[in-house]
């Protein structure tokens, strides 16, 4: 796990500025505090910050082939590097190191750009081929590792984080037309960023850059499926799923430094710990972050898992007094508006774990692989609800809405949620996605953004994305959308930035591409048996877990923002002066006041707006 930077001048006669390259690399030191390295050869320059996990003594970067005609900087890990190394040795290659980085170089020498298809891992790399006079950029299939780039002043500039591009001198020109998309989805979906002329390399894609310019191409996608003939044999599915997940955990435990696991108390991370305990000869180090509010706290469930598998367990607590620091830290590390507030506990558990280990395994991606979100059950519910008489469909939400007005606080919020579920049950697919993603009613967001010129509506954006989905059934379409949007634009971004802020590497066994390609083909009724979420996991590795955990409702990595923003000290964080200058002042005030008075829970939406306000100011 590291940070990479690069400068490529399309004009061969323009020498790379060494000081600029160093500034770009220094500002992402947190991604790799152990070592730094540089390669400059006329119009090409590569920078690297190293977090040493594999081959500590001889794995420094940039790394070269024998005649130094190839130079490579790599961020991430190639988990099957041992198997690939053995294969390449049989083909006649010799190795000077035991690192996965050298395996990438040799694989490129043997298979060229097709080497990407041989890798099982998470990566973003930049490879200079001096003989071909070209830069080869690659990003892993799912998008675990980031790679940002810009073409500015006849130069290709690249980095793990956007802030490096600003250090080079790329202008910080924001794109207000993306604000509605951000306020609904809480992120700026790739390949766009919040800034003009700065882009994210898409997952499963690569770029070839030479004196003629750059060309981006796709090397991987989710497999085609036959929706009328999906995998339905339970016993065969359970057996193959168990094998693939266990092997994924096993190869992700390859490390030359101490490692452990994030244990949230949820089903996914608990199953990862169960498999690690089976494989490891020593007790697993597990780390949990708790909350001072009982309704958000799952630490007691994590403790049950720790006791069951005899782990060395460590428990920390999220501190609400750190909210202002969390805002400033998030603005620095995400570089662009990012409204997923679970970044706060992710950072704190990473900081907590960094005292003991340098690498952890996580349960991230389980909801995507297993189709475990409540929205999948929502699709099933919508199909059944739409079959009821129209008069009943209209009566239910009206009656519950009337009842909710007699309450404030938690009861009112829950009744409002039920009304929203019922009212949106018959919405078109795009509208359901938008309503599910948004923390506040869409009409209010429309009012907030009504003064922004050339605004891109969330409906237009989602319609364009959904129309490109090759699957037909709404269940499978949602599965595709979650893989292509939720993971690379939200959850994996959150985990990467917040763990790297603490110089700790995270590895997600559910993100093994073999497991993903297999589970995409499994029938929806096997994944969601009745109303049971994650049936495949529950009926395999999940059988080893405490019964209390299996029966616990899904909470997610959420924090009590509504309550925190009512605190007198934290209330001052909601001035939002920069946002008010762009959006409607009165509507911003409505959102703040409704949260303060307990009319609606706007805590998460306030966080989303604060992060936008912070980045507009910068």
| Active-site residue, from 2, 115, 271, 583 | 2
What is the reported pLDDT for 418?
53
C-alpha dihedral, 344 to 347 to 348 to 353, nearest 10°: 160
Phi first, then psi, for residue 552 (nearest 5°) are -70, 140
In-domain check, residue 436: no
Residues 40, 117 within the same domain: yes
Contacts of 94 (CB under 8 A, 6+ apart): none
Residues 539, 495 within the same domain: yes
pLDDT over 70 at 408, yes or no: no
In the chain, what is the straight-line distance between the N-terminal and C-terminal CA atoms, in Å?
Answer: 28
- Three-state secondary-structure class, residue 489: helix
Taking a C-beta distance cutoff of 8 angstroms, is the pair 40, 509 a contact?
A: no
Residues 262, 159 within the same domain: no
What is the reported pLDDT for 143?
98
Single out the residue of 290, 287, 292 nearest to residue 314, CA to CA: 287
Report the 10 Å Cβ neighbour count for 90: 8
In-domain check, residue 139: yes
In-domain check, residue 377: no
Percentage of the chain lying above the pLDDT 90 cut: 70
What is the reported pLDDT for 500?
96
Residues 250, 291 within the same domain: yes
- Domain finish residue from 188, 218, 248: 218
Inter-helix orientation angle 343-353/492-500, to 10°: 40
In-domain check, residue 472: no
- Domain finish residue from 190, 218, 246: 218
In-domain check, residue 437: no
What is the reported pLDDT for 407?
54
What is the extent of the structural domain holding 57? 2-172+200-218
Residues 87, 60 within the same domain: yes
What is the reported pLDDT for 596?
73
Q: Which residues of 104-126 are buried (b: 16+ CB within 10 A; e: fewer)?
A: bbbbbbbeeeebbebbbbbbbbb
What band does 424 get if pLDDT is binned at 50, 70 and 90? low
- H helix or E strand, kind and range, residue 314: strand 312-317
> DSSP letter at 29?
G
CA distance 377 to 425: 11
In-domain check, residue 188: no
Q: Is 502 a catalytic residue?
A: no
Residues 209, 289 within the same domain: no
Residues 151, 238 within the same domain: no
What is the reported pLDDT for 326?
86
Residues 150, 259 within the same domain: no
Taking a C-beta distance cutoff of 8 angstroms, is the pair 330, 358 a contact?
A: no
In-domain check, residue 307: yes
- Three-state secondary-structure class, residue 264: coil
CA distance 508 to 498: 15
- Which residue stretches of 217-256 are H helix? 234-252
Residues 125, 240 within the same domain: no
The order of strands in the sheet holding 44-50 is 35-41, 44-50, 2-9, 155-159, 148-152, 198-200
Phi first, then psi, for residue 361 (nearest 5°) are -95, 150
Q: Which residues are 287's β-sheet partners?
A: 262, 314
CA distance 319 to 272: 27
Please write the tens of the pLDDT for every residue from 433-468: 998 888 888 888 998 898 899 999 999 999 999 999
CA distance 495 to 444: 30
Establish how many alpha carbons lie within 13 A of residue 284's alpha carbon, considering only the half-sphere containing its beta carbon: 31
Q: Which two tokens stand for residue 29?
A: 């030191």
CA distance 541 to 268: 10
**Residue the block writes with tokens 């094998």:** 243
pLDDT over 80 at 382, yes or no: no
Please write the tens of the pLDDT for every residue from 249-298: 999 999 988 899 999 989 999 999 999 999 999 999 999 988 776 766 78
Q: What angle do CA 38, 43, 47 make, to 5 degrees?
A: 20
Whole-angstrom CA distances from 431 to 173, 369, 437 are: 31, 23, 10
- Three-state secondary-structure class, residue 225: coil
**DSSP string of 369-403?**
HTT-SHHHHHHHHHHHHTTS-HHHHHHHHHHHHHH
CATH at 91: 3.60.20.10
Please write the tens of the pLDDT for every residue from 119-154: 999 999 999 999 999 999 999 999 999 999 999 999
Residues 205, 314 within the same domain: no
CA distance 78 to 101: 8
CATH at 248: 3.40.50.620
In-domain check, residue 226: no
Whole-angstrom CA distances from 341 to 26, 45, 187, 262 are: 27, 36, 11, 18
Taking a C-beta distance cutoff of 8 angstroms, is the pair 204, 221 a contact?
A: yes
Residues 92, 15 within the same domain: yes
Q: What angle do CA 486, 366, 608 make, to 5 degrees?
A: 35
- Which residue stretches of 95-233 are H helix? 100-111, 162-168, 179-185
Percentage of the chain lying above the pLDDT 70 cut: 88
Q: How far is CA 280 from the centre of its chain?
A: 27
Taking a C-beta distance cutoff of 8 angstroms, is the pair 499, 506 a contact?
A: yes
Residues 97, 162 within the same domain: yes
What band does 110 get if pLDDT is binned at 50, 70 and 90? very high
- Which residue stretches of 555-602 are H helix? 561-566, 568-571, 577-582, 585-596
- Into how many domains does the chain fold? 2
CA distance 519 to 536: 10
Please write the tens of the pLDDT for every residue from 486-534: 999 999 999 999 999 999 999 999 999 999 999 999 999 999 999 899 9
Please write the tens of the pLDDT for every residue from 594-618: 777 777 778 889 899 999 999 986 5
**Residue the block writes with tokens 């558990």:** 349
Whole-angstrom CA distances from 70 to 56, 108, 355 are: 21, 9, 37
- Domain finish residue from 522, 551, 580: 551
CA distance 81 to 95: 12
- H helix or E strand, kind and range, residue 351: helix 343-353
Please write the tens of the pLDDT for every residue from 343-371: 988 999 999 999 999 999 999 999 999 99
- Three-state secondary-structure class, residue 2: strand
Please write the tens of the pLDDT for every residue from 558-575: 677 777 776 655 666 777
């Amino acid at each position: 796990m590291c940070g990479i930077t690069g400068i490529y001048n399309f004009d061969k006669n323009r020498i790379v500025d060494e000081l600029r390259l160093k500034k770009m690399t220094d500002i992402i030191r947190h991604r790799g505090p152990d070592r730094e390295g540089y390669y400059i050869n006329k119009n090409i320059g590569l920078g690297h910050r190293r977090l040493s996990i594999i081959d500590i003594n001889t794995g420094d970067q940039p790394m070269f082939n024998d005649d130094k005609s190839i130079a490579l900087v790599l961020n991430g890990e190639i988990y099957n590097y041992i198997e690939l190394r053995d294969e390449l040795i049989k083909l006649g290659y010799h190795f000077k190191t035991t690192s996965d980085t050298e395996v990438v170089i040799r694989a490129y020498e043997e298979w060229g750009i097709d080497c990407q298809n041989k890798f099982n891992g998470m990566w973003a790399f930049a490879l200079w081929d001096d003989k071909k006079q070209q830069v080869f950029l690659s990003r892993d299939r799912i998008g675990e590792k980031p790679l940002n780039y810009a073409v500015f002043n006849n130069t290709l500039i690249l980095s793990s984080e956007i802030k490096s591009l600003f250090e080079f001198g790329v202008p910080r020109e924001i794109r207000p037309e993306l604000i509605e998309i951000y306020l609904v989805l809480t992120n700026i979906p790739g390949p766009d960023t919040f800034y003009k002329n700065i882009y994210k390399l898409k997952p499963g894609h690569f770029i070839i850059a030479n004196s003629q310019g750059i060309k981006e191409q796709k090397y991987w996608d989710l497999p085609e499926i036959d929706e009328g003939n999906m995998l339905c044999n339970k016993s065969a599915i359970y057996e193959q799923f168990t094998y693939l997940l266990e092997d994924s955990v096993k190869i992700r435990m390859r490390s030359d430094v101490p490692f452990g696991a994030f244990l949230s108390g949820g089903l996914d991370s608990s199953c990862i710990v169960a498999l690690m305990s089976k494989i490891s000869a020593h007790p697993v180090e597990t780390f949990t972050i708790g909350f001072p509010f009982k309704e958000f706290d799952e630490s007691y469930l994590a403790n049950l898992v720790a006791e069951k598998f005899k782990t060395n367990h460590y428990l920390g607590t999220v501190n609400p007094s750190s909210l202002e620091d969390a805002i400033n830290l998030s603005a620095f590390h995400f570089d662009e508006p990012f409204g997923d507030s679970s970044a706060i506990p992710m950072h704190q558990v990473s900081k907590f774990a960094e005292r003991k280990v340098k690498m952890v395994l996580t349960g991230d991606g389980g909801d995507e692989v297993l189709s475990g979100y409540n929205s999948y059950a929502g699709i099933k519910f919508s199909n059944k609800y739409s079959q009821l008489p129209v008069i009943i469909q209209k009566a239910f939400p009206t009656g519950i809405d009337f009842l909710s007005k007699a309450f404030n606080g938690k009861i009112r919020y829950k009744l409002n949620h039920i009304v929203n579920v019922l009212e949106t049950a018959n919405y078109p697919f795009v509208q359901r996605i938008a309503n599910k993603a948004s923390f506040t009613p869409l009409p209010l967001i429309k009012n907030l953004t009504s003064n922004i010129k050339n605004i891109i509506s969330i409906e237009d954006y989602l319609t364009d994305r959904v129309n490109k989905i090759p699957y037909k059934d709404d269940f499978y379409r949602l599965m595709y959308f979650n893989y292509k949007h939720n993971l690379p634009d939200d959850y994996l971004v959150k985990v990467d930035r917040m763990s790297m802020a603490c110089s700790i590497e995270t590895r997600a066994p559910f993100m093994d591409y073999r497991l993903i390609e297999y589970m995409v083909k499994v029938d929806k009724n096997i994944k969601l048996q009745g109303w049971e979420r994650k049936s495949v996991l529950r009926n395999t590795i999940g059988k080893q877990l405490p019964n209390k955990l299996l029966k616990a409702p899904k909470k997610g990595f959420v924090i009590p923002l509504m309550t925190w923003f009512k605190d007198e000290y934290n209330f001052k964080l909601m001035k939002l002066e920069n946002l008010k200058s762009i959006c409607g002042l009165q509507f911003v005030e409505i959102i703040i006041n409704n949260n303060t008075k307990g009319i609606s829970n706007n805590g998460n939406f306030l966080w989303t707006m604060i992060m936008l306000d912070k980045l507009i100011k910068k």
